[in-house]
Structure 1
Amino acid sequence: MDTLLLSRIQFAANISFHILFPTITIALGWVLLFFKLRFNRTGERKWMDLYLFWVKVFALSFALGVVSGITMSFQFGTNWPGFMEVVGNVAGPLLAYEVLTAFFLEAVFLGIMLFGASRVPGWLHTLATFLVAFGTTMSAFWILVLNSWMHTPVGHELRDGIVHAVDWWAIIFNPSMPYRLSHMLLASGLTVAFLIAGLSAWRWLRGHRGAEVETGLRFGVILGAVLIPIQILAGDMHGLNTLEHQPAKVAAMEGNWETQGNVPLLLFALPDEETRSNAFEVGIPSMASVILKHDPAGVVPGLNDFITAEGEVMHPPVAPVFWSFRVMVGIGMLMLVISWAGAWMLWRRGVEGMPRPYLWGLTGMTFAGWGATLAGWYTTEIGRQPWLVQGVLTVEQAVGDIAGGMVLSTLLAYVAIYVALLAAYVGVIFHLARKGGRYDAPVASPGMQPAE
């Protein structure tokens, strides 16, 4: 049993489970703030009904995100001690900033946000919602600063093999951070848009025809329709940034073996690292060069350039990166079609005119954001291999000296628990949706004392 491989699988399993929940809470906090502000402005009960339903989903997602995040952080010490030994002078402070500026903010005001609607003045409840939303975004900011620095490390120097920070501004605003942060924030927005639209469509199909369900369906579809073209643009810019700083990753994403021009955009292929070629290629001629270089004859880097004179392969495993990228793009294109079709139907017919097959399709897209996020995460993280910190520390150098059997046993335990928790999470959300109903508890209006 290979400790390195098992440790990689274990970390991948942990982070795959963990990332599902921040992907929801990052954007859902701001959506809840929008619902509350609309209630404050209009006094219409449907906005508060939406708030009180989705704040439960936020609380459940927040709890699972915190628990899985703590478990994941332990692995830095148990499985990857070399990471903190080499880059702890950078990673440690960034993780501490996340706790100090984000987690405490969320923890302090979450209780007011969850239970204060009828117990504190309206303005205070609105402020608490804003601060929790701001805290989730700040948490994402610091985590993505560290992750981006691992991909494009700058602002440091090596002394006796240990990384020391010399320019914190350069570290924080490293070359890939703006692209990675915007891409993730938009991914969270799309995840929440389809979660709200899909669950609202399911409730509508089950006969829940209240104003809050109709409004939630409209909101989710329109939010998705607005965000998806912005995400496509942000993804293109992120890809060009990756081409500049991590060309081996882009070569794997494109399945391109030789550095050349007129590179086709492969829609389908079976990459083979033994023969260093692709089988059954189906592609659009020169389109990869057009996308990456804005020129049909543009030269795109090839994977064969990333083999050392000693024959050591210094590019990522090709097939996982190649296919995860296509899964991400494929789900994104499906989001574009579904959301734009839904927006057109809302404009022409309203919610009542949406056909049942479309509503069932929208229901099937409820967790589509999770699929796209995981596929994108695999693309960027596997695409960094064999590096843990690009050009500074390899994965093999960071892994701990631990028995493979121990890693396997904990991996199996993690997977079993996570599968059970994920099933429970989805079950609870649909239980809440099935229960439905209006929320008739008194709510304080903005600027007023708590309702009696």
Structure 2
Amino acid sequence: MFEGFDPVLLARIQFAFTISFHIIFPAFSIGLASYLAVLEGLWLWTGKSVYHDIFNYWLKIFAIVFGMGVVSGIVMSYQFGTNWSVFSDKTGPILGPLMGYEVLSAFFLEAGFLGVMLFGQQRVGKGLHFAATVIVAAGTFMSAFWILSVNSWMQTPAGYGMNAAGQFVPEDWWAIIFNPSFPYRLVHMLLAAYLTTAFIVGAVGAFHLLRDRTNAAARVMFSMALWMATVVAPIQIVAGDFHGINTLEHQPAKVAAMEGHFETNTDGPMPLTLFGIPNMAEGRVDYAIEVPYLSSLILTHSLDGQVKGLNEFPRDDWPNVGIVFWTFRVMVAIGFAMLGIGLWSLYARWRSSIYEATGLQRAAIAMGPAGFVAVLCGWITTEVGRQPFTVYGLLRTSESHSPIAAEAVGTSLIAFVVVYFLLFGAGTFYILRLMGKTPHPGEEEPSRDEPTRTAGITPASQAMHPDNKVGGARAAPAE
């Protein structure tokens, strides 16, 4: 069936498919864990029950999102051994310990306190439960820290040496962990996670506000989410600018692909190409719409700054310009759309009509999934822009894959597609169903039978079930 296919290409498609599913869940859980910590802190500080109601509402959703992120992450680890064994062997002395640190610190924190966070409100004190929530949020941050350190080292390797077997070996762990691109990528990813969560929360709040403008929980959700968008969106744009300058320094070919620059500007400023169709064969952007001076100004902070084009690099070292060019523009466009929603909300607040602004609320619903799209586009830009290397400039993708046949990779790819759409499709459907439930006063914490209750099996019907020990024919006498 897959005779004649390139096994490296199939392995890349499989990895891209699985990581696309995986990345959206950690991006959501990182932001949602912090949001839950803020909600519980506000409840303890102010005593307002609405914060506790919202906390319990989103806690149920967090449990499902967290579980789906863990499951999808396990698959990623296995793929390093099955499809990318040469890469694993050569980078293992560096990346293996970093991944181990993530498990020993972040995952242990999350696993150790997640149960208390989910089911411990009636079993431990308020202070201890809040501590568990904060620790889980800290665990998600630490997980992002180590994973971004791993990926950033692949982008900008530092602190390494080579042994006789051709493996990368550590020489300076501080330089490895805090490699040149890591601080910028960590900040950019964390802000993306917070924005993604804010727009999901805002969309849910807007949805319920359109149904009932007096719903207190929906009003608080909507307001908090838009404050987050208003504050964080401009910070993210600035952080993205710093990240871009860092990328220009360490990965100039990637920036050239992002901007559609095939030729270096040697006799004037570099214009910014807003839109066009990259033509790699001819080395140009067809039908380009350009803004004079702007690329030089953005990338070098100078009106006449020189920016390297792809002509400065060997043709074999070019990434896929079309993919990188367009995913970068989609990500940037979504970022400015988020900023626009934040500014719109400020105007609505100034007019004291934020809860009556149906246009704003509909726009917030439409922007609900935008954060996920931006995260996916950002990761595609980052990973495709690093090609044709797995370790930038040092280890090529064509030299990193396992010696396995295309049929084996293709068959497993089909299996992943089928299983993922069934499994994660069902999980996503359930999450959307939870989001569609109207938040109400006295929202209860998650319980072990929450999926069956949401599906329409009420506690009364459970008590009458014949297999239930507390009801029906097998009911025990009251103690």
Q: Same fold (TM over 0.5)?
A: yes
Give the structure with higher Rg (CA): 2
Tell me what 2:330 maps to. 327
**Given the alignment, which residue of 364, 367, 371 partners 2:366?**
364
User: In the TM superposition, what whole-angstrom CA distance separates every residue of 1:89-122 from its partner, at most 9, and x where no partner exists?
Assistant: 0000000000000001100100110111122100
Closer/same/farther in 2, CA of residues 69 and 442 from structure 1, 3 Å limit: closer
Tell me what 1:446 maps to. none
RMSD: 1.4
Unaligned segments of structure 2, at least 5 residues: 446-479
Q: Write the mapping of 1:185-264 to structure 2, written as runs, cut at 5 A.
A: 185-207=190-212, 209-260=214-265, 261-264=268-271
What secondary structure, in the 3-state scheme, does the structure 1 residue paired with 2:38 have?
Answer: helix
Counterpart residue identity of residue 291, structure 1: I
User: In the TM superposition, what whole-angstrom CA distance separates every residue of 1:130-185 from its partner, at most 9, and x where no partner exists?
Assistant: 10000000000000001111111010111232111010011011110000000000
Tell me what 1:391 maps to. 393
Tell me what 1:269 maps to. 276
1:28 Cα deviation from its structure 2 partner: 1.2
Return the alpha-carbon distance in structure 2 between the equivalents of residues 176 and 382 of structure 1. 16
Counterpart residue identity of residue 204, structure 2: L
2:292 matched to 1:291? no
What secondary structure, in the 3-state scheme, does the structure 2 residue paired with 1:388 have?
Answer: strand
1:208 Cα deviation from its structure 2 partner: 6.6
Unaligned segments of structure 1, at least 5 residues: 444-452
2:108 matched to 1:104? yes
Q: Write the mapping of 1:347-362 to structure 2, written as runs, cut at 5 A.
A: 347-355=350-358, 357-362=359-364
Counterpart residue identity of residue 345, structure 2: G
**Given the alignment, which residue of 142, 148, 155 partners 1:151?**
155
Return the alpha-carbon distance in structure 2 between the equivalents of residues 173 and 281 of structure 1. 38
2:36 matched to 1:32? yes
| Worse overlay, 208-217 or 70-79 | 208-217
| Kept in 2: contact 1:86–1:163 (CA 8 A) | yes
Counterpart residue identity of residue 338, structure 1: I
Return the alpha-carbon distance in structure 2 between the equivalents of residues 231 and 427 of structure 1. 30
**Given the alignment, which residue of 404, 407, 413 partners 2:406?**
404
Return the alpha-carbon distance in structure 2 between the equivalents of residues 442 and 118 of structure 1. 11
Counterpart residue identity of residue 112, structure 2: V
| Kept in 2: contact 1:264–1:289 (CA 8 A) | yes
Return the alpha-carbon distance in structure 1 between the equivalents of residues 112 and 154 of structure 2. 31
What secondary structure, in the 3-state scheme, does the structure 2 residue paired with 1:353 have?
Answer: coil
User: In the TM superposition, what whole-angstrom CA distance separates every residue of 1:213-245 from its partner, at most 9, and x where no partner exists?
Assistant: 100000001101100000000000000000000
Tell me what 1:14 maps to. 18
User: In the TM superposition, what whole-angstrom CA distance separates every residue of 1:234-287 from its partner, at most 9, and x where no partner exists?
Assistant: 000000000000000000001001111411111111111111111100010121
1:432 Cα deviation from its structure 2 partner: 1.6
Closer/same/farther in 2, CA of residues 132 and 281 from structure 1, 3 Å limit: same
Return the alpha-carbon distance in structure 1 between the equivalents of residues 91 and 425 of structure 2. 37
**Given the alignment, which residue of 168, 174, 178 partners 1:163?**
168
Closer/same/farther in 2, CA of residues 332 and 407 from structure 1, 3 Å limit: same
| Kept in 1: contact 2:54–2:443 (CA 8 A) | no
1:441 Cα deviation from its structure 2 partner: 6.7
Return the alpha-carbon distance in structure 1 between the equivalents of residues 361 and 144 of structure 2. 32
1:189 Cα deviation from its structure 2 partner: 0.6
| Kept in 1: contact 2:68–2:424 (CA 8 A) | no
2:312 matched to 1:305? yes
Tell me what 1:447 maps to. none
2:344 matched to 1:337? no
Return the alpha-carbon distance in structure 2 between the equivalents of residues 67 and 426 of structure 1. 14
Counterpart residue identity of residue 320, structure 1: I
1:346 Cα deviation from its structure 2 partner: 2.5
1:191 Cα deviation from its structure 2 partner: 0.3
Tell me what 2:383 maps to. 381
Closer/same/farther in 2, CA of residues 42 and 371 from structure 1, 3 Å limit: same
What secondary structure, in the 3-state scheme, does the structure 2 residue paired with 1:352 have?
Answer: coil
| Kept in 2: contact 1:52–1:439 (CA 8 A) | no
| Kept in 1: contact 2:61–2:431 (CA 8 A) | yes
Return the alpha-carbon distance in structure 2 between the equivalents of residues 346 and 423 of structure 1. 37
Return the alpha-carbon distance in structure 2 between the equivalents of residues 421 and 227 of structure 1. 33
Return the alpha-carbon distance in structure 2 between the equivalents of residues 277 and 410 of structure 1. 38
User: In the TM superposition, what whole-angstrom CA distance separates every residue of 1:367-407 from its partner, at most 9, and x where no partner exists?
Assistant: 11100000011111100001100122111100111111221
| Kept in 1: contact 2:84–2:402 (CA 8 A) | yes
Return the alpha-carbon distance in structure 2 between the equivalents of residues 182 and 243 of structure 1. 17
2:187 matched to 1:182? yes
1:424 Cα deviation from its structure 2 partner: 2.8
| Kept in 1: contact 2:54–2:439 (CA 8 A) | no
Counterpart residue identity of residue 192, structure 2: A
1:83 Cα deviation from its structure 2 partner: 1.1
| Kept in 1: contact 2:218–2:439 (CA 8 A) | no
Return the alpha-carbon distance in structure 1 between the equivalents of residues 313 and 75 of structure 2. 35
Counterpart residue identity of residue 430, structure 2: V
| Worse overlay, 261-270 or 38-47 | 261-270
| Kept in 1: contact 2:233–2:335 (CA 8 A) | yes
Return the alpha-carbon distance in structure 2 between the equivalents of residues 425 and 228 of structure 1. 29
Count of residue correspondences: 438
2:144 matched to 1:140? yes
Return the alpha-carbon distance in structure 2 between the equivalents of residues 352 and 273 of structure 1. 49
| Kept in 2: contact 1:218–1:346 (CA 8 A) | no
What secondary structure, in the 3-state scheme, does the structure 2 residue paired with 1:125 have?
Answer: helix
| Kept in 2: contact 1:214–1:351 (CA 8 A) | no
Tell me what 2:419 maps to. 417
Return the alpha-carbon distance in structure 1 between the equivalents of residues 284 and 317 of structure 2. 17
Return the alpha-carbon distance in structure 2 between the equivalents of residues 208 and 132 of structure 1. 33
| Kept in 1: contact 2:57–2:439 (CA 8 A) | no
Return the alpha-carbon distance in structure 1 between the equivalents of residues 174 and 232 of structure 2. 30
